[in-house]
Amino acid sequence: MRADQARGWSAQTDEVLRRAGWWPGRSVPTDTWESILRERGSCVAHEAARRFLSEFGGLVTYGWPADTITTSSAIRFDPLKASWQSERFAWASREAGASLCPVGTADQGASFLGITEDGALHLVRDHVEQLAETTDRALDRLVEVQAARSALWTPGVPAAEHAFWRRLHTAETGPDAGLRWSEEADRVLRAGGWFPGRSVPTQTWESILLQTGEFEIHDAARRFLAEFGAVGVSYREPWDPMPWMEFSLDPLLAIWDAEIIDDLAEQAGVDLYPIGMRDRGNQHLAIAEDGSVYAGMDSVWLLAHTPDEALQKLTSRIRPTGT
C-alpha cells in the first residue's frame, strides 16, 4: 500500500483506481451529469452522489489485470448510463429503503450502481444489493469480484431494451424539421435526447479530458457538445434490423485515446476535439475548429463540413425501410 494512501480500501483497489485515473484529491465538476440527469428525469443528485462523482466520475476499470478478456465486470462511473431510468431507480429506491441516485455501471453495463444519501453503494439489476456500508469498502468489493468472472454477474440474462428504441416509437418531428436536417433525422435525434434549444454545461467533459488526455477544447466543440452531448442511437441485438449505425456523442469515450486523436488530427491537418464514437467503438468522431466533423481510427476522413450535415449522415439509414 502506498505511503500516501489513507483510504479504507485495499492496496489492490488503490492500484486499480490509480490505473483508471484516480489520484488523491481528484475533483471534477459534476454540472454536466447533473444537468442531463435532470433533463431526462432520471435523478436530482444529492450530496453523496455529487461527492462520489466529483472524485470518481468518468473513471473506467477494465479488470485485474487491466483488460476486457479475462473479466466480465468492468466498472464505469458514469451516471448517464442510467439516463431515462427514473422508474427503475424509483423501484430500486423503494427496495433499498432509501433514495438511490445513479453513479455508474458494473458487469460491462449489465448492472447499475446507485448511491444513497448516506454514501452506501448499491448494485441494481433484477434485485437491489448493498455492496457495503461505506464507499471505500464497496469499491473493494467491486474490484475483488472483477478479478475473475464476477460473482455478481449473471450470464445469459437479457438486457432491457434501451430507452432510445422505446422513445423512437413515440418521438414526433418538430415544425422546423427539414430545415436543418431531414424529418427522419429530426425524429431520431429527438429519440436520442436532443430537442430544440438544448444547452447543457460542458465543464465536466472538459475537465476530465483536460486532466487525462490534455485535450484543449475549442469553441466549435463546446457549442456542439452543449447541444448534442450525450445524444445517440444505441446498439441492439440482433444487429441486422438496425436501420441506423449505432453512435454515441460522448466525448469521454476518448478518455485514454489522446494519441489516436492526435494522430487523426495530424492526418487531417487540423486540430480535433473528440465528440464521440460510432460503429460500436470502431470509429472516433471529432470536430475541428471550423465545425467540420471527422471520423476514423487508424485513418481519418471528413464526415461532413458542418455539424448539421454530420448529424444528417449519422442518422441516415444503412438498411432499407421496413423496420
Q: Return the half-sphere exposure (C-beta side, CA atoms, 13 A cut-off) of residue 212.
A: 28
Query: Of 6 and 284, which is predicted with more confidence?
Result: 284
- With a CB cutoff of 8 Å and minimum separation 6, the contacts of 45 are 30, 33, 34, 37, 53, 79, 101
Query: Of 32 and 69, which is predicted with more confidence?
Result: 32
The confidence score (pLDDT) of residue 57 equals 97
Q: What is the CA radius of gyration of the chain?
A: 20
Torsion, Cα 231 78 33 304, to 10 degrees, reads -30
CB neighbours (10 Å) of residue 149?
A: 12
Q: What percent of the chain has pLDDT over 90?
A: 63
* Domain 163-314 grouped into CATH 3.40.1580: yes
Q: Which residues pair with 295 in a beta bridge?
A: 285, 301
pLDDT tens digits, 256-309: 899 999 999 999 999 999 999 999 889 999 999 999 999 999 999 999 999 999
pLDDT at residue 251 above 90?
Answer: yes
pLDDT at residue 50 above 50?
Answer: yes
Interior angle at CA 43, CA 40 and CA 49, nearest 5: 135
The confidence score (pLDDT) of residue 69 equals 45
The domain segmentation of the chain, as residue ranges, is 11-145, 163-314
The confidence score (pLDDT) of residue 64 equals 47
CATH number given to 11-145: 3.40.1580
The confidence score (pLDDT) of residue 162 equals 75
Query: Looking at residues 15-43, what average pLDDT do you find?
Result: 92
Query: Of 299 and 45, which is predicted with more confidence?
Result: 299
What letter represents residue 219's amino acid?
D
* Average pLDDT of the chain, as a whole number: 87
Record the cell numbers describing residue 147, joined without a space.
Answer: 478479478
pLDDT at residue 15 above 60?
Answer: yes
Q: Where residue 238 falls among pLDDT bands split at 50, 70, 90?
A: low
- With a CB cutoff of 8 Å and minimum separation 6, the contacts of 120 are 98, 130, 131, 132, 133, 134, 135, 138
Which of 83-87, 218-222, 316-320 tops mean pLDDT?
218-222
The confidence score (pLDDT) of residue 107 equals 76
- 3-state class (DSSP) for residue 214: coil
Distance of CA 45 to the CA centre of its chain: 17
Q: What percent of the chain has pLDDT over 70?
A: 86
The confidence score (pLDDT) of residue 125 equals 84
Of 235, 251, 194, residue with least CA distance to 40: 194
Tell me whether the CATH fold assigned to 11-145 matches the one assigned to 163-314: yes
pLDDT tens digits, 136-173: 999 998 888 776 555 555 545 555 567 888 888 888 88
Block residue for cell numbers 444529492: 46
Q: What is the DSSP letter of 6?
A: -
Phi, psi for 44 (deg, rounded to 5): -105, 115
CB 272 within 8 A of CB 216: no
pLDDT tens digits, 95-129: 999 999 999 998 777 789 999 999 999 999 888 99
Q: What is the DSSP letter of 127?
A: S
Record the cell numbers describing residue 180, joined without a space.
Answer: 436543418
pLDDT at residue 196 above 70?
Answer: yes
- Between CA 46 and CA 117 the distance in angstroms is 6
Query: Of 311 and 82, which is predicted with more confidence?
Result: 311
CB 286 within 8 A of CB 267: no
Name the pairing type of β-strands 293-296 and 300-304: antiparallel
